[in-house]
């Protein structure tokens, strides 16, 4: 109980008060808290091959952004993401393997499009796995 309260206050006073142009970085524990307490939607932007290799964060949505050649279609990705985001204020958390791609996409969303409540998992699935968090295998 004390751990949950402490986590709440750490999150409330650190990464949750962001301006429109700021991308929030989360630890695995912070991701879980934001997902559970603020119903954040988690998008795994890796490739299908990566999803099969390591699995996914439970209740996350596989929605590839960059293809194997580094190409992307921002408009298509946004259209698909908005189908899963209940309101424009609902936090979005981006996940990739190491945090590099999710950071790039997060910066596009915040700096170029002015979106708020955008976060990414710092060090990506590597950090999630290292923290021994639950993995959901997808076919």
The domains of the chain, with CATH numbers, are 2-130 (3.40.250.10)
Provide the pLDDT confidence category of residue 6 given band limits of 50, 70 and 90.
very low
Place of tokens 């890796």: 46
Q: Do residues 86 and 39 make contact, with C-beta atoms less than 8 angstroms apart?
A: yes
Tokens encoding 124: 């990506």
Predicted TM-score (pTM) of this structure: 0.85
Say which DSSP state 12 is in.
Answer: H
Q: Is the pLDDT of residue 12 over 60?
A: no
Say which DSSP state 7 is in.
Answer: H
Place of tokens 């932007």: 45
Q: Is the pLDDT of residue 19 over 50?
A: no
Q: Is the pLDDT of residue 5 over 90?
A: no
């Amino acid at each position: 109980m004390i751990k949950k309260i402490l986590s709440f206050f750490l999150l409330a006073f650190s990464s949750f008060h962001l301006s429109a142009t700021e991308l929030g970085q989360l630890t695995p524990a912070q991701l879980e808290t934001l997902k559970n307490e603020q119903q954040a939607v988690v998008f795994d932007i890796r490739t299908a091959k990566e999803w099969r290799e390591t699995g996914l964060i439970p209740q996350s949505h596989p929605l590839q952004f960059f293809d194997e050649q580094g190409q992307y279609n921002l408009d298509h990705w946004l259209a698909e993401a908005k189908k899963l985001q209940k309101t424009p204020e609902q936090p979005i958390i981006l996940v990739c393997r190491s945090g590099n791609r999710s950071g790039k996409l997060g910066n596009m969303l915040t700096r170029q499009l002015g979106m708020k409540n955008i976060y990414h998992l710092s060090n990506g699935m590597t950090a999630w796995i290292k923290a021994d968090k639950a993995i959901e295998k997808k076919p």
